[in-house]
Each structure stands twice: as C-alpha cells, then as structure tokens.
Amino acid sequence: MSAATDRKWWAFAGVGLISFLGCIDLTIVNTAAPQIQADLGASVTDLQLVVNIFVVALSMFMVTMGRLADRHGRRRVLYIGTVVFGLASLGAGLAPGTGWLIAFRFLQGAAGAVLYTSTGAIVQNAFPASQRGRAIGALYAVNGVGLAIGPLLGGVIVSALGWHWVFWINVPLVVVALALCSFSVQESRDEQAGPGVDRAGLVLISLGIPAVVLAFTLGGSWGWTSGRTLGLLGGALVVLVVFHAVERRAADPIISFRLFRRRAFLTAIVSDFALACFYTTVLFLMPLYLHEVHGFGGYATGALLLPCTAVMAALSPFVGRLTDRFGPRRLLVVGFTAFTVSALLLTRLSSGSSLGSVAVALVAMGIGWACVLGPATVSALSSVPERQAGLAMGSSWTFHNLGGAIGLAAGIVLYRARAEGSLTAALAEHRAPAGDWVRDVVADPERAAELIQRHTSLNGDAVTEVFDTMFTQGTQAAMWMVAGTSLTALVVVGLLGLAGRRAASNVAAGAAGVAGRDTVADKQAV
C-alpha cells in the first residue's frame, strides 16, 4: 500500500472519529434524559431544550462554518471546532443546573457545525471521484457505529457513573482524533473564493434560522399565539426575506439560491429535512417510553435501541457501494419506504406492546436511516463543483437541522395535545377531577405518578393504567406525524426523479432530432 493510500485512510480514521463525536453525543444525551430529569429537576420542555439547543446552534453556524472552511482551509477550521467541542463537552458534564447544561450544549452545537461540514468535505477531497460514494458511505457507517454505541454506552455510563460522563467521554476522543489528523489530513479550500466575506449574509442567516428553531421549540410552552412566539416567527420571516434579497446581490453569497434549481440539491435537502424530523422525534420519545412505560433502566434502554442504530451502521458501507453504482435516488426511495413502515408500526405502541414488535419497527428505522443519510449527502455534493463542497454540505445540513428542530417541536406539540386529552378522558372514566395540574403531568413524566396521586384518589394499578394510556397515546400521535413526513418525502423524491428522467428524455429526443435533420440535409447536399 502506497504512502498516499496510507495517508488517505489515516485521514479517514481521524475525521471519521471527529464526525463520530457528534453522533455519539446525540444518542447518549437522549438515553441520559431520564436521569438528567431526575437529577436536575428538568421538565419535558427542559429536556427538549437540552436536545434542541444543540440543533439551534448547528442551524446558526452550519452554513457559516462550511463557507469559512471553504475559504480559510477545512483542516484549520476543523481543528478549531474540534477543540471547542471538547471544551464544551467538559463544561456540560460539570453543569450544576439545566441553565448551564443548555448553555454548554449550545456551545457544543456551534462547534459541532464544523464537525458535520468539514469532515464530509475532507473525505470527499481525500478520495477519487470513483470512490466517493463508498467513502461517504463508510463515513456514515462510522457515524452509525457512534449512534449504535451511543444508546448502549449511554445506558452503561448513566447506570455506572452518572449522566455527567456522557459528555466527558468526548474529551479523550477529541485528543485521539486530533492526533490522527495531525499527520494525515491535507489542507483544502475553495481556491476560487473571493477575498471578501459576505458579513451581512452571515449575520442575517445566523439570526433568522435560529429564531425559527426556537419558536418551534418553545412555542408549545409559551403558547402558539403568544407575543413571544409570534414575535420570533415574525422577526425570522423579516430577517430571512432580507437575507434572500441580500444574497441575490452578493458577489460571493453564503447560500447560492441557484442551487435550488438543481434537482439533485432539492432531493438532498428534502431528504435531509425528513430524515432529521424522523430520528429526532423517535429518539427523543422512545427512551422515555421504554423507561416510563416499561420500566427499563439505563442498560436495558440502551440495548433496546440498538436494533435501529446497529442496522444503520452495518448497512451504510453496502449502501455506499450501491450509491456509486446506481446513484442516490433509488436508495432514497427505499429509505423513505422503510421509514414509513417503521413509523406506521410505531403508531401501534401501547403499554402491552411486545419488545419484538418494537425491535421490528426500530430495524425498519435503521434500514431507512442507512438508505437516506449517505445518499442524501452524495446528492448534495454532486450538485456543486468539488471546490464548493463546504457550501453544499453547510446548506444541506442547515435543512437537516431545521427538520430536526421543527420535527421534534411538532412531535412534542402533538404528544402533549393528545396526552392531555387522553389523561382528561381517563380521569373522567375513573370519576377523578381534572384541572390545570394535568398539564404538569404531561410535561413531567418522571413525577406523573406522584402528581396523579396528589390530585386524585387513584393509586396503584389505576395510576399506572392512566399514565400508560396517556403516554402511549401521546407518543402515537407523534409517530403519525413522522409517518406523514416520510411518506411526503417519498412522493417528492419520486416526483423529482420522474422530472429528471423526462428532462433527460427530452434532451435525448432533441439531440436525435437535430441529428436526423443533419442527415437529411447531408443527403440533399449529395
């Protein structure tokens, strides 16, 4: 094996480990949510913020970091972001309350924007065009390993050491990853980038998109017609309209809106949006379902989530090879079909659901995840020249983050509305009084049994029955939402594919017509 080939794979190992950090952090935090809730007195809204503030920060900085990496060097920006990510992980583990934890999670997300954009661009640069689909597939297989280990490792760490260590585990991994990258990753950048930076565009997108994410995250708690929610949404709309106007005139825009005319890019952002909508909602609610309804601890909860993430990790390299051979669109269709099947199975969750049925739904989710994540990235990268890889990655991941934040927020809103209605109906059947305290029960599952007993005469099996019905019906409502988004994405990706084939057929027919006319003219000339 040549020195260049050696360096290519060492570089892959280093950036793969860095990308792995963002994935392991996401799934570990979800698994640790019940203990964070018990230790810090966090509500469901607090837990939602702990998860979603990471996405808010990603949304603020994803495109910016992609552009800075293209301009100033992907290796340099990656190193800085990785160090900050490690320090933020250390701080999150030391957080004494939910406020500090949310703040450090925000800093993690800001640094994580580098991890998501630069790693894919560096891998693309390190491998020849004929191997990029395979390399990207392998990169997401590494991510899948992180996701697969995350729930299980999170359960082990939470049970043995406490939730603080789910963040501290990142620190030694940062050191190892930087050591691997130090001798193997070559600097790359967009050599045709202009000398200036679109500062107005950077500021506007860094304000507008997070405002949308925050409005959807907190709108359920504040009230959708409250001044704060409407103010955030209205302000975001104004800022994003101004951003569009500014970017159309910018010499070197943060986002080139011409990309949206390309079917490959549209396919990528639709896929990324629907993918994140699916997994953020499911991975937020499933650990709570397994813990609160079935009573499983950290070890068991982590193990029960393994069918999803392990299947995703195992299939990703195979999917990468298929993407090189057939292109991304066919794999995306398979992926969203699997997602739709998984979501429909999850809509049948109840307190009596067998673990086998849950495992089947999670396996289908893992198949869908493997068939969407890598191919969507390849579709985004194929829509631009190689020098603009950071721009494509930043733009597609911005929509990925929006899908995650909006999907989780919408899922929690549906969960709360359905759970509150279910609890009120169940209390009426038991001739127990309802009141404003019902909302507290829905918002705080960890204290739900205590609150129900305090405000009613119910106890024992009756409390368990009422709570299980409330929680599972709320979860079912959220799963119907992700079923709808997956089915919609399947239809849109299919229609974009049909449009592409028709356009190709028209071009071929036009070329054939021109050739035919040229042949007639030649014969007449003879």
> What pLDDT digit, counting tens, does each position of 106-164 carry?
898 888 877 766 776 777 777 766 666 667 667 766 766 666 566 667 777 877 888 88
Region for 31 from its dihedrals, namely left if φ exceeds 0, alpha if ψ lies in -120 to 50, beta otherwise: alpha
pLDDT at 430: 81
Radius of gyration in angstroms for the set of CA atoms belonging to the chain, rounded to a whole number = 24
- Of 288, 246, 59, 262, nearest to 151 by C-alpha is 288
Check pLDDT > 60 for residue 520.
no
Check pLDDT > 60 for residue 4.
no
Which whole number is the average pLDDT over 425-448? 79
pLDDT at 507: 47
Check pLDDT > 90 for residue 363.
yes
Q: Is 397 within 8 Å of 73 (Cβ atoms)?
A: no
Distance CA 295, CA 281 (A): 20
pLDDT bucket at 352, cuts 50 / 70 / 90: confident
pLDDT at 234: 93
Q: What is the DSSP letter of 446?
A: G
pLDDT higher at 420 or 119? 420
Check pLDDT > 80 for residue 188.
no
Check pLDDT > 80 for residue 480.
yes
Per-residue pLDDT of 315-350, as tens digits, reads 877 887 888 788 888 899 999 999 999 999 999 988
Q: Is 332 within 8 Å of 271 (Cβ atoms)?
A: yes
pLDDT bucket at 455, cuts 50 / 70 / 90: confident
pLDDT higher at 313 or 172? 172
For residue 57, which amino acid is it? Answer: A
User: What phi and psi, each to the nearest 5 degrees, are found at residue 95?
Assistant: -60, 130
- Of 305, 3, 320, nearest to 142 by C-alpha is 320
Distance CA 84, CA 88 (A): 6
Cα 403–472–46 angle (5° rounding)? Answer: 55
Which whole number is the average pLDDT over 491-511? 66
Which whole number is the average pLDDT over 467-472? 87
- Of 95, 52, 420, nearest to 218 by C-alpha is 52
Per-residue pLDDT of 200-257, as tens digits, reads 877 887 788 778 877 877 776 777 788 888 999 999 899 989 988 888 887 767 677 7
- Least-confidence region, from 57-61, 312-316, 332-336: 57-61
pLDDT at 523: 42
pLDDT at 129: 66
Sign of the Cα torsion 286, 150, 67, 375 reads negative
pLDDT bucket at 87, cuts 50 / 70 / 90: very high
For the record, the structure tokens of 8 come out as: 């290519």
Of all residues in the chain, what percent carry a pLDDT higher than 90? 13
Going from the C-alpha of 256 to that of each of 119, 246, 253, 384, 393, the distances in angstroms are 21, 11, 6, 10, 13
Which whole number is the average pLDDT over 155-180? 84
Distance from the first to the final alpha carbon of the chain: 60
Neighbours of 407 (CB within 10 A): 27
Distance CA 97, CA 109 (A): 18
Distance CA 453, CA 378 (A): 53
Q: At 241, is the secondary structure helix, strand, or coil?
A: helix
Q: Is 347 within 8 Å of 292 (Cβ atoms)?
A: no
pLDDT at 522: 42
Domain topology for 3-186+252-420+472-505: Growth Hormone; Chain: A; (1.20.1250)
pLDDT at 166: 85
